[in-house]
């Protein structure tokens, strides 16, 4: 009976079996490697280097627009998007808010309507948007730093008219963007992170 089976069918069957086995093996290798591959895409953007020193030089219009778009795409509770971004490029205004700013720095002031009932959600959403812009700036090779200290936020709130912030809005967070000095980047200059075992609990 077996002698009647054409040789080419036997060979075809063996070939298909080998291809299937090889495909399964490749799939298994891919599944094993996939998490590591994803990490190499994600982690380089998440060093969270908070730059203190900047080089003189303008943030380009293209860079600025990418940073702003990153903020606009941030998540928010109920998709309310409760933030207002004021992009401060005028260097006199920049220095009024942040006196030690380097020439060419821009500031983005995140403000929102704090009505006394949803303040925490609005502040969290503004923070998420600012963080999205922060990460975008680092991906572009720029320096970024976030400020929430009362003195600086107070200066921003005292300039509502100049900044175009509505009277019923309150400045929540200010993020600074600028060019980094030569030899400084977010990867090599990032501060060491805490031991994950002290910061993460699995249940």
Strand order in the sheet with 83-88: 83-88, 106-112, 170-178, 143-147
Residues 6+ apart with CB under 8 A from 185: 49, 141
Of 155, 159, 83, 149, residue with least CA distance to 114: 83
Residues 11-69 pLDDT 10s: 444 444 544 455 544 454 445 456 567 766 666 666 567 888 999 999 999 999 999 99
pTM: 0.75
Of 176, 175, 158, 154, residue with least CA distance to 167: 158
Residues 71-106 pLDDT 10s: 999 999 999 999 999 999 999 999 999 999 999 999
């Amino acid at each position: 009976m077996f002698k009647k089976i054409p040789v080419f069918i036997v060979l075809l069957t063996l070939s298909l079996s080998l291809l299937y086995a090889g495909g399964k093996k490749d799939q298994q290798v891919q599944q094993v490697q996939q998490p590591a591959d994803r990490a190499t895409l994600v982690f380089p953007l998440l060093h969270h280097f908070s730059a203190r020193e900047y080089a003189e030089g303008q943030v380009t219009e293209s860079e600025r627009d990418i940073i702003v778009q990153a903020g606009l795409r941030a998540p928010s509770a109920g998709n309310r998007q409760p933030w207002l971004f004021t992009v401060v490029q005028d260097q006199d205004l920049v220095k009024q808010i942040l006196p030690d700013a380097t020439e060419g720095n821009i500031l983005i002031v995140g403000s929102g309507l704090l009505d006394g009932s949803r303040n925490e959600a609005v502040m969290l959403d503004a923070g998420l948007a600012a963080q999205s812009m922060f990460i975008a700036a680092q991906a572009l090779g720029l320096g970024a730093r976030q400020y929430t200290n009362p003195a600086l936020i107070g200066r921003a709130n005292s300039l509502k008219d100049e900044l175009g912030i509505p009277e019923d809005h309150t400045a929540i967070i200010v993020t600074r963007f600028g060019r980094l000095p030569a030899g400084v980047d977010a990867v090599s200059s990032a501060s060491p992170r805490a031991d994950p075992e002290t910061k993460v609990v699995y249940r």
